[in-house]
Chains A and B, each alone.
Chain A
Amino acid sequence: MLRSNVQGSTLNPPVTMVFTGHFRPESFAEFVRHRAARLSLAMRLGTVNDNRVEVAVEGAADLVDMFEMACSLGPIDCLVLDIHRNAERQ
């Protein structure tokens, strides 16, 4: 179960983000972990390979948006071409 440590924030259901592009899996995974920790988001990695990374995150909606923006840039050795969310904000 995902759990956020943000107190008093409006929480939304978990959002799964699917990043597609060209990845060094371990590099992008570490980047995602770091950004989620910085933003106090609960995070769980799903599929991680050279062309696709799935991440489930939960936390305040604004912070989830920040997470998406941060990951859209990604580390220098990865290229994000597209992002898809499977659950939209409430």
Chain B
Amino acid sequence: MGFAAGWYALALGDGLEPGTSAGTQLFDKELVVWRDASGASHVWEDRCPHRGMRLSFGFVRGNHIACLYHGWQYDEAGQCRHIPAHPTLEVPETIKVPTYASVEAAGMIWVRWDGEAAGQPPADIAAVPVRSLYLDREPETVAQLLAAGRAGSFETLSPGSFATALEGADLFLALQPYAAERTALHIARTGGDLPLKDIAMWAEELRASLEALPAAGLAPAARQAGAAA
């Protein structure tokens, strides 16, 4: 893939209620995004260390997430704290889910990819989440189509984030390299008062364009540094 270390949006913040979880992918890696009862969001590897079940199928219990399969519970740091079949067992620290640093900014949940090389997290600009689009197209191609103005006029803020203006709305778009041939675009309104349903309809048209536009003439995918400004 042509993207490097950076912060990537994985979901709209208001799409994840406290006490719920959702599965997603970044560079084909399966991740769970979940929000605990106190409202804090978390991004982890989507795999229970016990039997490999996706934690996104599990249940949030207070500030723990429990695996659907055998009920192993993990705290906010990913540490297993309770095994129902062995309720008195002091669970060893080695039973832990790999976690990723994450923040909420611009109405979206972002994950830090590739550790310290990712740089600073995205700025928390005021934004109203609108919707997420999932496209059957390579992330590099989608980014280049946007940057080249093939699907409308977009300002490239970083290799993975863009801005555009509609009549009555300023928009911020964050690209999620979901998989080799699948891309998510998360859209938030940063200005104006155009109704969200109108922006959502525009977004549907944008998705159709981005999936249909020819890639001819685009530069070969080059490694791009940093996803978010």
Contact = CB atoms under 8 A, between A and B. Distances in A.
B92 interface: yes
A40 B93 contact: yes
Contact of B89 (A7, A37, A38, A63): A63
Interface residues of A, number: 13
B38 interface: no
A27 interface: no
A31 to B, nearest CB: 13
Contacts of A66: 86
A62 B95 contact: no
Interface in B60-114: 86, 89-90, 92-95
B18 interface: no
Given A38-B95, A39-B95, A9 B90 contact: yes
Nearest to A38: B94
A6 interface: yes
B89 A9 contact: yes
Interface residues of B, number: 8
Interface of B is mostly: loop
A6 B90 contact: yes
B49 interface: yes
A39 B92 CA distance: 7
B94 A60 contact: no
Contacts of A9: 89-90, 92
A4 to B, nearest CB: 9
A52 B129 CA distance: 59
B113 to A, nearest CB: 25
Nearest to B92: A40
A88 to B, nearest CB: 18
Contacts of A40: 92-95
Nearest to A6: B92
A53 B43 CA distance: 38
A58 to B, nearest CB: 13
A81 to B, nearest CB: 22
12 contacts: A5-B94, A6-B92, A8-B90, A9-B89, A38-B94, A38-B95, A39-B92, A39-B95, A40-B95, A60-B89, A63-B89, A66-B86
Given A5-B92, A5-B94, A8-B90, 6 more contacts: A6-B92, A38-B94, A39-B92, A40-B93, A62-B86, A66-B86
Interface of A: 5-9, 37-40, 60, 62-63, 66
